Amino acid sequence: MTDQFKPLDDIAEDQQTVLSFNNSMYKVGEFMGQMKSAFQVTGIPACSQNLQNRGGVPYASSRDANSWLKQGVNCELLKPGSNGWKKGKVRIKMILEFCPDEPEVEEISESQEPKIPQPESPLDDLRQRINQENQPENQ
Which pLDDT tens digit goes with each residue over 21-76? 888 898 988 888 888 888 888 888 888 778 877 776 776 566 677 788 888 888 89
Q: pLDDT at position 118, please?
A: 62
Residue 115 confidence (pLDDT) above 70:
no
DSSP at 118: P
Residue 138 banded pLDDT, cuts 50, 70, 90: low
Residue 103 confidence (pLDDT) above 80:
no
Least confident of 42-46, 105-109, 130-134: 105-109
Cα separation, 28 vs 12, whole angstroms: 10
Q: Three-class SS of residue 97?
A: strand
Q: Is 12 exposed, middle or buried (0-12, 13-18, 19+ CB in 10 A)?
A: exposed
Residue 1 banded pLDDT, cuts 50, 70, 90: very low
Q: Which of 32, 69, 31 is nearest to 47 (CA)?
A: 69
Contact 25, 18 (CB under 8 A): yes
| Span 74-90, pLDDT tens digits | 889 899 998 999 999 98
**What is the average pLDDT across 84-97?**
89
